[in-house]
Amino acid sequence: MNQNDLLNITYANVDTARVEMDRLLKSRQRNYSLPRPLYNDPHMFRIDMEEIFQKEWLFVGMTSEVPKKGDYFTVEIGQNPVLILRDGDGQVRAFHNTCRHRGSRLCSAERGKVANLVCPYHQWTYDLKGNLLFAGTDMGTTFDKSQHGLNKAHCKTAGGFVFVCLGDEEPEGDFDDFLLTLEEYMEPYDMENTKLAVESSMYEQANWKLVIENNRECYHCNGNHPELLNTLLEWDDTHDPRADEAFLAHYERQSKEWDAESIPHEHKSFGVRNRIVRMPLKEGTEVMTIDGSKGCNKLMGRIKNRHLGSMRILHLPNSWNHMQSDHVIVFRVLPISAQETLVTTKWFVHKDAVEGVDYDVAKLRQVWDATNEQDKRLGEENQRGINSVAYQPGPYSETYEFGVINFLDWYSDKLQENLARISTSEG
Ligand code: 3BY
Ligand code: FES
Ligand code: FE
């Protein structure tokens, strides 16, 4: 526990915190920010991890990060190390990255390539499907290797995105419908034939919900994101009240071109949890670089038109994305503690694009490095103010902050639903 955690213990134990969380969520004012303990209490953080991050579908990375058999990357979901790996049949799988002997973490690198998975502790060895192949010299006559394969996590891929779910059961809902649409909308990008150009990891001293809330509105953009606003419009809905005549005409022209090229752009929502929308960027700009000029000579997949705007993909609780004509940017949010969150940003380009010839990493990342830094500061200042005894939940603007309201509605419903399930199963 860090100092901030100790200062913000509000409840005697996690059971009391569960009851209180349910009460706070049931009695919250819907269009207001949340009561303080939901942003800083360590027991409530634990409940977020148990009920959201260990039960719901999470975005972890892209299939092109593991292009070949045996390629893997690792991710820590709270205290749970997870391994994402491409097996010999080309399937992307997720395993708990913990050995079935005495539990050691198997792979400690962020990414790598293996023929088999060998535990560094006593060399138990697993194949790429997680079967235990070798377990030392003598585990006794009753030892059954088939009962000691790696524990699997649910894993689904679509359009190059990899999602995992750590729950025993996959959560109910329309996630598969979202995946079908995601596959269709991502088809022009051919993500399997892309490569990671660069990535950044940023620790933010703020609760994960503040990170997502901040991302769900652009009310703060004008005062904080000069670089981003060179290209990005401050709204992402063609029916937004800020959408003026000039925008509507611009959208109309672009969408005709997109239709002619079979580039999907119709707005799709799956509850408030998943959302795909292609929005034009500002007139005269191509991608989210500092001056809106191209980020890479090679376009993605079968794309011919540099003016594809940004296809924004939302996946609650932990990802937003900007898919553009010559590169795509994916964002992943992972909670670390009540007041600490890891934000990972990855830039992908066509796999044949050559660094220094077709693209310049510094140019590619400039705008979102600046934006991420600005958002980090906003999130951290938000957290500091919320920790004050004077904090009280404040009102969101229904026009400019509807995305935040949607996120908290999703969060609140999901938590109450999952908490109710625990109390039922405990009888
Ligand atoms: O562009 C984004 O990803 C979000 C939406 C508005 C604010 N933020 C920069
Ligand atoms: Fe993995 Fe012993 S803990 S081999
Ligand atoms: Fe921002």
Q: Report ipTM for this prediction.
A: 0.91
Q: What is the pLDDT of residue 236?
A: 82
Q: What is the pLDDT of residue 1?
A: 63
Any atom of ligand 2 within 6 Å of the Cβ of 99: yes
Q: What is the pLDDT of residue 48?
A: 98
Q: What is the pLDDT of residue 13?
A: 94
Residues 256 and 258: their CA atoms lie apart, in Å, by 5
- Residue in 83, 106, 118, 121 to alter for ligand 2 test, most ligand atoms within 8 A of Cβ: 121
Hey, whose CA ends up nearest to atom 4 of ligand 1? 215
Phi and psi at 410, nearest 5°, equal -60, -50
Asked whether residue 131 carries a pLDDT value surpassing 90, the answer given is: yes
- Measured in angstroms, how far is the CA atom of residue 339 from the centroid of ligand 1? 21
Phi and psi at 416, nearest 5°, equal -65, -40
Q: Is residue 66 within 8 Å of residue 112, measured between CB atoms?
A: no
Using H for helix, E for strand and C for coil, what is the string for the chain? CCHHHHHCCCCCCHHHHHHHHHHHHHHCCCCECCCCHHHHCHHHHHHHHHHHHCCCCEEEEEHHHCCCCCEEEEEEECCEEEEEEECCCCCEEEEECECCCCCCECCCCCEEECCCEECCCCCCEECCCCCEEECCCCCCCCCCHHHCCCCEEEEEEECCEEEEECCCCCCCCCHHHHHHHHHHHHHHHCHHHEEEEEEEEEEECCCHHHHHHHHCCCCCHHHHCCCHHHCCCCCCCCCCCCCCHHHHHHHHHHHHHHHHCCCCCCCEEECCCEEEEEECCCCCCCCCCCCCCCCECCCCCCCCCCCCCEEEEEECCCEEEEECCCCEEEEEEEEEECCEEEEEEEEEEECCCCECCCECHHHHHHHHHHHHHHHHHHHHHHHHHHCCCCCCCCECCCCCCHHHHHHHHHHHHHHHHHHHHHHHHCC
Asked whether residue 427 carries a pLDDT value surpassing 60, the answer given is: no
In single-letter form, the type of residue at position 179 comes to: L
Q: What is the mean pLDDT of the chain?
A: 96
Residues of the chain above pLDDT 70, percent: 99
Average the pLDDT over each of 309-318, 333-342, 356-365, 418-427 and give the range with the smallest value. Answer: 418-427
Q: What is the pLDDT of residues 65-84, one digit of tens each?
A: 999 999 999 999 999 999 99
Q: What is the pLDDT of residues 368-426, one digit of tens each?
A: 999 999 999 999 999 999 999 999 999 999 999 999 999 999 999 999 999 998 877 76
Q: The whole model's pTM is what?
A: 0.97
Phi and psi at 28, nearest 5°, equal -70, 155
Any atom of ligand 1 within 6 Å of the Cβ of 221: yes
- Measured in angstroms, how far is the CA atom of residue 380 from the centroid of ligand 1? 17
Any atom of ligand 1 within 6 Å of the Cβ of 185: no
- Measured in angstroms, how far is the CA atom of residue 100 from the centroid of ligand 2? 7
Any atom of ligand 1 within 6 Å of the Cβ of 74: no
Q: What is the pLDDT of residue 6?
A: 86
Please report the domains of the chain, with CATH numbers, ordered by start residue: 1-56+190-427 (3.90.380.10), 64-154 (2.102.10.10)
Q: What is the pLDDT of residue 5?
A: 85
Hey, whose CA ends up nearest to atom 4 of ligand 2? 122
Q: What is the pLDDT of residue 426?
A: 66
Q: What is the pLDDT of residue 61?
A: 98
Any atom of ligand 2 within 6 Å of the Cβ of 101: yes
Asked whether residue 231 carries a pLDDT value surpassing 90, the answer given is: yes
Any atom of ligand 1 within 6 Å of the Cβ of 215: yes
Mean pLDDT for 102-118 is 98
Asked whether residue 249 carries a pLDDT value surpassing 90, the answer given is: yes
Cα-atom radius of gyration of the chain, to the nearest Å? 22
Q: What is the pLDDT of residue 138?
A: 80
- Measured in angstroms, how far is the CA atom of residue 209 from the centroid of ligand 1? 15
- Measured in angstroms, how far is the CA atom of residue 150 from the centroid of ligand 1? 38
